[in-house]
Structure 1
Amino acid sequence: MTRPTSRDVAHAAGVSQATVSLVLAGKWRGRVSERTATHVRETADALGYRPNLAARNLRLGSTRTALLVVPALTNEFFARVYTGAAKVAAGHGFGVVLYLSPDGTGPARDPFASARTALDGIIASSMATDALEGIRGEDQDLPLVMLDSDPTAGGASAYVNIALADGMTAVTTHLLDQGHRHFLHLASAVDSWTFDIRAAALARTLGPGTTLRTVRAPLTITDACAAMERALADHTGPATARPTAVVCDDDILAVGACKAARRLGLALPEDLSVTGFDDMALATAVEPELTTVRIPAERVGEDGMRALLAVLEGHAWTAPPLPVELVVRGSTAPPTAR
Structure 2
Amino acid sequence: MTRPTSRDVARQAGVSQATVSLVLGDKWRGRVSERTAEQVRQAATELGYRPNLAARSLRLGSTRTALLVVPALTNEFFARVYTGAARVAADHGFSVVLYLSPDGTGPARNPFASANTALDGVIASSMAADALQAISGAGTELPLVMLDSDPSTGGAAAFVNLALADGTRQATEHLLGLGHRDFLHLASAVDSWTFDVRAKALTEALQADSSPHTSPDTSPHTRLRTVRSALDVPAATAAMETALSGPGPHPTAVICDDDILAVGACKAARRLGLRIPEDLSVTGFDDLALATAVEPELTTVSLPAERVGEQGMSALLAVLDGHRWTAPDLPVHLVVRGSTAPPPAP
Query: TM-score, normalised to structure 1's length?
Result: 0.79
1:314 maps to which of 294, 300, 322: 322
CA distance in 2, matches of 1:157, 1:263: 48
CA distance in 1, matches of 2:264, 2:101: 25
CA distance in 1, matches of 2:84, 2:201: 27
Structure 2: gaps of 5 or more residues? 1-56, 208-218
Which letter maps to 1:98? L
Q: What SS does the corresponding residue of 1:318 show, helix, strand or coil? A: coil
Structure 1 residue 251 and structure 2 residue 263: aligned?
no
Which letter maps to 1:96? V
Structure 1 residue 167 and structure 2 residue 140: aligned?
no
Which letter maps to 2:172? T
Partner of 1:264: 272
Structure 1 residue 118 and structure 2 residue 130: aligned?
no
Partner of 2:98: 98
Give the Å deviation of 1:133: 3.1
Structure 1 residue 303 and structure 2 residue 311: aligned?
yes
CA distance in 1, matches of 2:325, 2:109: 27
Q: 1:183 touches 1:244 (CA, 8 Å); kept in 2?
A: yes
Q: Which has the larger radius of gyration?
A: 2
**What RMSD over aligned residues (CA atoms) do the two structures have, in Å?**
1.8
Partner of 1:127: 127
CA distance in 2, matches of 1:126, 1:173: 27
Pair 1:103–1:115, CA change in 2 (3 A)? farther
Give the Å deviation of 1:67: 0.7
Residues 249-304 of structure 1 deviation map (CA, whole Å, 9 limit, x = unaligned): 01000000000000000011000000000000011010111110000000000000
Matches within 5 A, 1:19-30: none
CA distance in 1, matches of 2:128, 2:102: 14
Partner of 2:283: 275
Q: Number of residues paired by the alignment?
A: 278
Partner of 1:223: 235
Which letter maps to 2:278? E
Matches within 5 A, 1:1-338: 62-102=62-102, 104-127=104-127, 131-137=131-137, 141-207=141-207, 208=219, 209-234=221-246, 236=247, 240-338=248-346
CA distance in 1, matches of 2:344, 2:61: 61
CA distance in 1, matches of 2:108, 2:320: 23
Give the Å deviation of 1:128: 6.7
CA distance in 2, matches of 1:189, 1:151: 22
Q: What SS does the corresponding residue of 1:266 show, helix, strand or coil? A: coil
CA distance in 2, matches of 1:241, 1:61: 64
CA distance in 1, matches of 2:143, 2:137: 11
Partner of 1:31: none
Give the Å deviation of 1:99: 1.4
Q: 1:116 touches 1:136 (CA, 8 Å); kept in 2?
A: no
Partner of 1:42: none
Q: 2:116 touches 2:140 (CA, 8 Å); kept in 1?
A: no
Which letter maps to 1:81? V
Q: What SS does the corresponding residue of 1:122 show, helix, strand or coil? A: strand
Give the Å deviation of 1:73: 2.0
Give the Å deviation of 1:140: 5.1
CA distance in 1, matches of 2:327, 2:293: 34
Q: What SS does the corresponding residue of 1:127 show, helix, strand or coil? A: helix
Q: 2:114 touches 2:140 (CA, 8 Å); kept in 1?
A: no
Residues 21-40 of structure 1 deviation map (CA, whole Å, 9 limit, x = unaligned): xxxxxxxxxxxxxxxxxxxx
Which letter maps to 2:205? T
Which letter maps to 1:318? T
Q: 2:183 touches 2:255 (CA, 8 Å); kept in 1?
A: yes
Which letter maps to 1:176? L
Q: 2:285 touches 2:301 (CA, 8 Å); kept in 1?
A: yes
CA distance in 1, matches of 2:271, 2:154: 45
Percent identity, please.
Answer: 77
Q: 1:183 touches 1:247 (CA, 8 Å); kept in 2?
A: yes
